[in-house]
Amino acid sequence: MKISKVVFFAASALSYAAAFAGTQDIKASNNQFSVEAISTNVNYTEYGDVSRGSAAGPLDSEKGSVPGFGLSLSLMRDWLLGNDYLQIQYSRANGHTNYTGSYQSGGGYGSLLSTSGATLSDFSIRAGKGFSPSSSVMLTPYGEYGYHQWNRAINQGETYSNNYVGIGALVQYSPVNHLVLSTNALLAQTFGSHIDVSGSKAYSGALGNSSLYKIGLAADYAFTQKLHGNVGVDYTSFKYGESAIWQAGSKYYYEPSDTTKYTTVHIGIGYAF
């Protein structure tokens, strides 16, 4: 009987220690500043509008991976409701994509192949509250605001930008000590979508807005109490709608609708506090 009690209390103590470790590891991963190397794969395609005199189907596209860096600060503290969550992120990528289009004299989509410079800048801030349905799981619903800008070095330069706001959920799981796995999903709406065209056909105006979807997977490992390593991938999809028609000289132009898809891989180090 005494041996049974000893075994029972030992098992209970180990279970509690594992549960405590799981919860603490998740909170530790949510209280850190990290610096990351990123690579964003761009998959962008513009589509013609027959009613505006363009051929149906793709007009041009840009695809390729653009390298850069990211900064992230996350906090989970007991400010108001307990497990209050805040995350601020910034990233910038600069490089080139593969451009597929057509000559102005004709030839159709695919007749012109070249490269195009690309600079991607992103900022986001999210706030939410974490819930622990089990000892090793944290569920954090949140609201998020973000801003995106793409400097596209096609022609004499075009800059696309948009804001977005939405709701999402972060699910984190700690299967063993020091390791936290996470999955993330966001549903948002873009607003304030805009384009600035430079050069001889200069124009500045609004673009159509759309729904925005983002999903991600990540892992965080605590090498020490303070030093963390992290790796992950995020996929984002949204659209820019057509612009108004504008005149430059004797010709008329418009910005076609498109699909924009980004897949960003990131790896970095973090300092927990």
**Rounded distance between C-alpha atoms, residue 169 and residue 140, angstroms:** 6
pLDDT of residue 234: 98
- Residue 53 has a pLDDT of 84
Residue pair 161/150 in contact (Cβ under 8 Å)? The answer is yes
The pTM score is: 0.89
Residue-wise pLDDT tens digits, 167-190: 999 999 999 999 999 999 999 999
pLDDT at 12: 39
Q: Phi and psi of 6, rounded to 5°?
A: -60, -45
Phi, psi dihedral angles at 51 (to 5 degrees): -65, -15
Residue-wise pLDDT for 99-153, tens only, equals 999 887 778 899 999 999 999 999 999 999 999 998 899 999 999 999 999 999 9
Spatial distance between the Cα atoms of 61 and 250, rounded to a whole number of angstroms: 27
Domains and CATH numbers, the chain: 2-272 (2.40.128.100)
The overall average pLDDT reported for the chain is 92
CB under 8 Å to 104, separation ≥6 — which residues?
A: none
**CA distances (Å), origin 46, targets 38, 39, 40, 85, 240:** 25, 23, 19, 38, 9
Using DSSP, state whether 225 is helix, strand or coil. Answer: coil
CA–CA dist 270, 31 (Å, integer): 10
Who's near 259: CB < 8 A, 6+ residues apart?
43, 44, 45, 47, 237, 239
The alpha carbon of 89 is separated from its chain's Cα centroid by a whole number of angstroms, namely 9
Write out the two tokens for 238.
């949204």
Q: What is the pLDDT of residues 49-108, one digit of tens each?
A: 999 988 889 999 999 999 999 999 999 999 999 999 999 999 999 999 999 998 877 788
CB neighbours (10 Å) of residue 236? 21
Tokens 């102005």, residue? 104
Residue 57: how many other CB atoms lie within 10 Å: 11
**264/43 Cα distance (integer angstroms):** 11
Q: Are strands 158-173 and 84-101 parallel, antiparallel or unpaired?
A: unpaired
49: Cα separation from own chain's centroid: 29
Cα–Cα distance between 63 and 16 in angstroms, integer? 50
What is the reported pLDDT for 248? 92
